[in-house]
Every structure is written in C-alpha cells, then in structure tokens.
Amino acid sequence: MEFAKRLDNVTGSAIRAIFALLAQPGMISFAGGNPSPDSFPKEDIANISASLLCEHGSSILQYGGTPGIGSLKNTVIKMMETRSISAKPDEVIITSGATQGIGLAAKTLVNPGDVILTESPTFIGALQTFLTYEADVKGVEMDDDGMKMDDLEKKLTLYRPKFIYTIPTFQNPTGRTMSLERRKQMIALCKAHNVLILEDDPYCDLRYSGQPVRPIKSLDEDQLVIYLMSFSKIISPGLRVGAAIAHPRVIEKYNIAKQGEDLHTANLSQEIVNAYMLSGKAEPHIEAICAQYRDKRDAMLKKMEEWPKSITYTKPDGGLFIWVDLPKHMNAVDLFKQCVDAGVAYVPGVHFFPEGGHENTMRLNFSMASFEQIDKGMDILKGVIEKNI
C-alpha cells in the first residue's frame, strides 16, 4: 500500500503515544495538556443541551453554514473587545477548536518547501500539521520573555517565511509569556518584511498571577495577524469550538478550505458554547478553575524548590505547563523509562523542537493530576533525577 509522500516525515504525536502508558494501574501523569475533568460544567451543559434540542432541535440537527452561527460570532466579537481586538462578522470564522485554525492556515497559505518560523520549542500539534503540509519549519530562539527578536529578525531576512507561528501567552510547552515590548517589535518586524503572524491564544483566560499582556492582534494596524481563540480550556475540549479572526480575504480562504474538511463546526456544540457564554455563568466558572489551577501550579512549584539547584524551570503566570531544563549531560528521553517504571510520566522536551536536540528538557503538566498525585509524583521524579544527576 502506497501513501501520500507528504506523510513520509510525519509521525504520531509523542504525547498520544505516551497516553498508552497511562493505563497502567497507579500511573501518575504529568504528560498531557488536558484541562482537568473537574473543570467541566457538566450539569450546566446537560441542561443547556436539553433545552436547545427541545426548542430548536430541527434547525440544530440540520446542516449549517461554514462560517459559523451568527450569534456565536457576535459573542466572539464581544469577547475580542475585552482583549482590545476589534473585529467585524466577516473577519470571524468559527472553527473546530483552535487546532483547526492552525491547519487551515497551513492549508491556505503554505506550498511545499515554504518556511514557517516558530518558537523553539513549540506546540507538537502545530509542528505535525506544518510538516503534513510539507513546510520547512525553522525554530526561533526563546528566553523568559518569549521569542527573541534579534534571532527572529535574522531568520526573517534569511528565510523569507510564509508566516510566523507563536503562542505568546502561557506558551505550550514552556509556560512563558512574551513581553509587550517584544510583541510590538514583532509587529514592526513583520510589517517591514511583509510577513503574516499566526497568533495562537488558547490559554489567555487561565491567568493566575501577574498582569494581562495585550494580544499581538490588538497591536495589529495592518491586518497581518491571524488570531486563534478557543473555548476548549474554559468550557470543554470535547465540544471542539474555537474561532479565527483575520482579514476578510483570509477568512474567505479559511471558509473555502473548511468546507472540504468538516463543512461546519457542529451546530449543537456552537449553540451550547454560545448559550453558556451568555448565561452569566462563564465568568465565575473561569474564576473557579483558575483558582484550582493556581493551587496546583503552586503545589508543583513548591515541590520543585526541593530539587537540585542545577535544575532550572519556568514559573508561569498561567496556562497548564512548567518547563524543566536538566543539566546538559542528562537525557530526559532515557530518564523517561525509569520514571515510568517508578510510576510517573512526563513529556521529554526533544519532541517540541523543530530542529530536534535539547534532550535535557522536559514538560510537566499540573492541571490533570490531583494534589495527592502532585505530591507523590514529584517526589518520585525528584528521586529518579537525583540518581542520575
């Protein structure tokens, strides 16, 4: 059997492969990136679903328009106003999660061999998508303030990329947030080089400390930014609802490309999300899950204070992840098997780098584990690390 050549260099997600290990009894996972199941407003969604189907079932269960339900688009536009982003209906398309927005960018903009610049490290799912569309992905160096602008400027000149992909707020996998100054510099550089920015912003509502930083899109006076948002982290990932906000010409191409993928995001999912966001329950719900995640983040960071001083790690103001740099001689891939045998899992950092390498890094997730699991799992992880340091 012969498959398309575009899949030759694409493998399954390392995280999905790790999930197979998590079925082992007693396994503690810091590996995923999922919201806590305790954060889902199950009863509210059940009540909303029943009401919607009883009152509007005939239309909800029918085909819908590709751009999305108008009332949800209006809700998204109002949400964007709170983020200092101005948008019109023809600048918004509802997507099946922010992940589809990434895929549609690749599908509509990238030809085989085109260069995409990403943070290094970056989101595994985006890397897989870009490689599927035969892009040449180049990494841009990061520090605690996000993507380094001197390296970005050098690579803009060297590679003339099709676009830049960035998660500037509570980045996956590092948890870092790009400073406002660098966001301004990125806009200026992209304007000078006539390069688009794909701004992926699924974590911005999950802030536990520090002050909000304006999205790059809010600084965009030249329609250079395609902005992706998601309801997965604040309501439910299983509903698969997000949105893309961009120049009408981009949204028009997204619309054409989406028609051939799923025709439209499920009407029921769109209506549930819209009804929940308008119910008055969303804001207190987000405050509650942020309080829960803040405590889990703090619990994990507290345990890490006991680790050897040669190990460094991020202290994120929000999101779901902590990034760890082990001493250079250590290999987190080799360490992974020992940790799994001891009952704890994480994701080795090598999988997040477009160029590979960086074997001494790892990503830890704190949202899925209980407080008891964080306490026990971090002790196990510390013990394994100390044996190998």
Both 230 and 119 in one domain: the answer is yes
At 371, which helix (H) or strand (E)? helix 371-388
Q: What is the rounded average pLDDT of the residues 291-298?
A: 98
Q: Higher-confidence residue: 239 or 32?
A: 239
Judge whether residue 62 has pLDDT over 80: yes
Judge whether residue 213 has pLDDT over 90: yes
Both 259 and 293 in one domain: the answer is no
Looking at residue 6, its pLDDT comes to: 73
Looking at residue 1, its pLDDT comes to: 77
Both 291 and 261 in one domain: the answer is no
Average pLDDT across the chain, whole number: 95
Count of helices and strands (H, E) across the chain:
12, 15
Determine what percent of the chain is predicted with pLDDT higher than 70: 96
Q: What is the rounded average pLDDT of the residues 365-378?
A: 97
Looking at residue 20, its pLDDT comes to: 66
CATH of the domain at 344: 3.90.1150.10
Q: What is the rounded average pLDDT of the residues 339-366?
A: 96
C-alpha 243: how far from chain center: 13
Owning domain of residue 200? 42-278
Looking at residue 29, its pLDDT comes to: 94
CATH of the domain at 264: 3.40.640.10
78-115 core/surface letters (b: 16 or more CB in 10 A; e: else): ebbeebebebeeebbbbbbbbbbbbbbbbbbbbeeebb
Total domains present in the chain: 2
Determine what percent of the chain is predicted with pLDDT higher than 90: 93
Quick one: pLDDT band at residue 15, thresholds 50, 70, 90? low
Both 127 and 160 in one domain: the answer is yes
Both 86 and 104 in one domain: the answer is yes
Interacting residues of 159 by C-beta distance below 8 A, sequence separation 6+: 115, 117, 136, 138
Least confident of 13-27, 37-51, 164-178, 190-204: 13-27
Tens of pLDDT, residue by residue over 265-281, are 999 999 999 999 999 99
Quick one: pLDDT band at residue 3, thresholds 50, 70, 90? confident
Distance CA 165, CA 226 (A): 10
Both 258 and 312 in one domain: the answer is no
Least confident of 17-31, 107-121, 222-236: 17-31
Looking at residue 18, its pLDDT comes to: 67
Looking at residue 24, its pLDDT comes to: 74
Q: What is the rounded average pLDDT of the residues 252-264?
A: 97
Both 267 and 219 in one domain: the answer is yes
Looking at residue 9, its pLDDT comes to: 67
Both 207 and 93 in one domain: the answer is yes
Q: What is the rounded average pLDDT of the residues 86-97?
A: 98
Q: Which of 278, 293, 317 is the last residue of a domain?
A: 278
- Contact between 96 and 254 (Cβ < 8 Å): no
Both 349 and 337 in one domain: the answer is yes
Both 347 and 368 in one domain: the answer is yes
Both 325 and 302 in one domain: the answer is yes
Looking at residue 371, its pLDDT comes to: 97
Quick one: pLDDT band at residue 12, thresholds 50, 70, 90? low
Quick one: pLDDT band at residue 32, thresholds 50, 70, 90? confident
Q: What is the rounded average pLDDT of the residues 306-313?
A: 96
Looking at residue 26, its pLDDT comes to: 86
Both 185 and 117 in one domain: the answer is yes
Q: Which two tokens stand for residue 65?
A: 């328009």
- What is the DSSP track for 114-166? -EEEEESS--HHHHHHHHHTT-EEEEE-EETTEE-HHHHHHHHHHH--SEEEE
Q: Which of 256, 278, 300 is the last residue of a domain?
A: 278
Q: Which of 212, 244, 278 is the last residue of a domain?
A: 278
